[in-house]
Amino acid sequence: MSKLGNRADWADDEEFDDPSALPAQQITTNKDGTKTVVSYRFNDEGKKVKVTRRIKTTVVREHVNPQVAERRSWAKFGLEKGHAPGPSFDTTSVGENIVFRPSINWKIQAQEEEKNPEKGSMKDQLKDKKVKCRICSGEHFTARCPFKDTMAPVDEPAGGAGGLEGGAEDAPAAGGLGATSGSYVPPHLRKGAAGGGERMAGKFEKDDLATLRVTNVSELAEEGELRDLFERFGRVTRVFLARDRETQRAKGFAFISFADRSDAARACEKMDGFGYRHLILRVEFAKRAT
């Protein structure tokens, strides 16, 4: 850098014979030992550019063996004969940075590092993956489906989730039906026609297991706030805040469905009596809809 500073800029050389001569390079020494070099040059568009550089010269004194110092002045020979000093690009290049930290348990660390990119790729995969509703095939979670309460999943194999839930109760009946295949099967028990009413009940039954009824909710409550409050205990699948049809104000009660019943139980325990918007919440497990 310092060498460059003392020498005329390469751009100056070209413009040297230009009649519209550039002002000469000015070098001023500052108090703090640095030098300010002001030079002028033309840029690509032919405009005059003033370049101001502040240069600090540091002398790095390295003590080497006199033999080593003597060797530094050796001329190049062989295939390199006559080449300019400095590494040439066709033989010498700098590789990628390598992080090398010796450690006794480097193997475990290396394994973790190897795992992490995989984790990253998994995340990427999920990023690209579109969310698909099982009920209406829309781009939202099934739990958020607007038709959740009115429609059955589109391509769910018969006796899928709903069938399994009802399984415990219906087992003897279903078994009996299966055994006597020729006999009459009522429509709501037939394959491919999981009965609407039955299913709905089944569905609620499932939800009820992990749904909390929250009462004494402020009129000004928002679903988002409730979600935030309850999400601390586990994954919340649904937040329903009853609102007045005209005023859109909250009616004072809400249902919170959890993915996991144990989370719901914990939330019920902790949130019961919680002060929210000047009111004390009352949280209990939702009773079965009748």
The site for other proteins (CB under 8 A) is made up of 64-65, 67-68, 71-72, 74, 76-81, 85-88, 90-98, 100-104, 106-107, 110
**What minimum distance in Å lies between the beta carbon of 117 and other proteins?**
13
The residue among 61 and 81 lying less far from other proteins, judged by its C-beta, is 81
CA dihedral 75, 76, 82, 84 (to 10 degrees): -90
**How many C-beta neighbours within 10 Å does residue 206 have?**
16
The residue among 92 and 290 lying less far from other proteins, judged by its C-beta, is 92
Provide the angle, in degrees to the nearest 10, between the axes of the packed helices 196-209 and 161-179.
130
**What minimum distance in Å lies between the beta carbon of 6 and other proteins?**
23
Tell me the CA distances in angstroms from 58 to 33, 35, 123, 199, one per residue in order.
10, 12, 49, 83
**What minimum distance in Å lies between the beta carbon of 4 and other proteins?**
19
Tell me the CA distances in angstroms from 267 to 209, 229, 256, one per residue in order.
13, 9, 10
**What minimum distance in Å lies between the beta carbon of 95 and other proteins?**
4
Closest CA to 202 of 231, 169, 243: 169
The residue among 31 and 81 lying less far from other proteins, judged by its C-beta, is 81
The residue among 16 and 89 lying less far from other proteins, judged by its C-beta, is 89
The residue among 81 and 130 lying less far from other proteins, judged by its C-beta, is 81
**What minimum distance in Å lies between the beta carbon of 122 and other proteins?**
20
Measured over the CA atoms of residue 17, residue 20, residue 25 and residue 26, the dihedral's sign is positive
The residue among 64 and 158 lying less far from other proteins, judged by its C-beta, is 64
**What minimum distance in Å lies between the beta carbon of 65 and other proteins?**
6
Is the Cβ–Cβ distance between 191 and 223 less than 8 Å? no
